[in-house]
Amino acid sequence: MLKHSVYITHAQALSPDIVVGLADLPSGTTASTRRMQNMTARTEDWMQQMATANNDGHCLNLFASILPVELEAQRLYLEMLQNELSDSIDGLAFYSSASAAVIPAGLAHLPRLSMSSLMTPQQILREVMLGVDLFAVEFVNASTDAGVALKFEFPAPTDTYTRTTEHSHLHRKEMGIDVWSDEHATDLSPLTADCDCYTCEKHHRAYIHHLLVAKEMLAWTLLQVHNYTMINRFFTGIRRSIKKGEFERDVGLFEDIYEAAMPKGGGKGPRYVHTLGPRVLERYHVLKHLASQDSRLSTRILRPQRGKSESRGLQVTEDCSCSRPIVALEIQCNTRFSVA
């Protein structure tokens, strides 16, 4: 477990662009009154320690965590931030966008960082409408890993869009291109026509498709270059739209014109890890329990064989010379659960 003092030492040594004060967060959806008191007291204590260390010759950009609980539960903590630490903190970190409503006036001018896991541009736009300024754009990495090239812009292009059609959702634009798809195998066009990134200026879809199929790391590097260019353009568009006073209208258009979810890539990413689904996990634990009840049984994880990735799973065998499987589970056929 990381001690708070170690966290401060590492933050000072690494000197990142932003340091978020540690927060004591609830592990479930609800917390008892006693638990909330402890959360706010511990978070307040950590924040004071962090601010004191930062005032002692260090110039970190310190963001205070705002807890995802009601105003009453963290009123004293917020008052302490406003009255004692307002000169020591450079921003606020939110674990729930709803917490923006509890910010006292004395802290309202500070930049706001979202700690939420946002997986679509639409979710980012909704948080911007609530006043959030900074984001971790997880879906960019997720899209790159999935072999998807981002293809959306803000404000959304309205050239082919007619709001009057009742079934316009049927013709919504995709927000990305699955470059794994065979339709790009001989396509000599760039990932997106109007992109000036290195990938789009130097390479075509067919080349990147080939690199993906060949499992060359360069495929994901080139996709990441393009995807970060697209997300930078997305945020540039947001700032321009806010400046023009058209943000709310542009968000409505974006939601009308684009699909609500990012497209899923057709292949496996460079960091692909085979994970067990919830149903399979449930059966895994049943098998482990069965094995623990009988000393003659032992469990072993089946490793995938070359060309037979379907063989991965868990097998419980009798602990005897014949090793006859008496219980078997195959992940790809996870409806099969046989007890011999």
* Least distance CB 221 / Zn ion (angstroms): 13
* Least distance CB 188 / Zn ion (angstroms): 15
Residues 6 or more apart whose CB falls under 8 angstroms from that of 322 comprise none
Rounded distance between C-alpha atoms, residue 86 and residue 307, angstroms: 60
* Least distance CB 211 / Zn ion (angstroms): 15
* Least distance CB 192 / Zn ion (angstroms): 6
Give the tokens for residue 204: 């075509």
- 35 or 173: CB nearest Zn ion: 173
Rounded distance between C-alpha atoms, residue 267 and residue 255, angstroms: 27
* Least distance CB 138 / Zn ion (angstroms): 20
Catalogue the long-range contacts made by 161-170 (C-beta closer than 8 Å, 24 or more residues apart): 161/253, 161/256, 161/257, 163/256, 168/256
- 65 or 229: CB nearest Zn ion: 229
Give the tokens for residue 93: 């970190």
Rounded distance between C-alpha atoms, residue 225 and residue 278, angstroms: 34
Q: Which DSSP letter does residue 33 get? A: H
- 205 or 283: CB nearest Zn ion: 205
Catalogue the long-range contacts made by 6-11 (C-beta closer than 8 Å, 24 or more residues apart): 8/49, 8/50, 8/53, 11/50, 11/60
Counts for the chain of helices (H) and strands (E), in that order: 10, 10
Closest to 238 (Cα-Cα) out of 125, 83, 319, 106: 125
- 40 or 229: CB nearest Zn ion: 229
- 140 or 251: CB nearest Zn ion: 140
* Least distance CB 195 / Zn ion (angstroms): 3
Residues forming contacts to Zn ion in the complex (CB under 5 A) are 195, 197, 199-200, 226
- 232 or 323: CB nearest Zn ion: 232
- 230 or 280: CB nearest Zn ion: 230
Closest to 60 (Cα-Cα) out of 14, 115, 112: 14
* Least distance CB 231 / Zn ion (angstroms): 11
* Least distance CB 283 / Zn ion (angstroms): 44
The position carrying tokens 């353009």 is 233
- 88 or 224: CB nearest Zn ion: 224
Give the tokens for residue 303: 């490793």
Length of the chain: 340
Rounded (10°) angle between helices 138-145 and 217-244: 150
Q: Which DSSP letter does residue 141 get? A: H
- 236 or 309: CB nearest Zn ion: 236
* Least distance CB 222 / Zn ion (angstroms): 9
Rounded distance between C-alpha atoms, residue 242 and residue 155, angstroms: 11
Give the tokens for residue 276: 């067990």
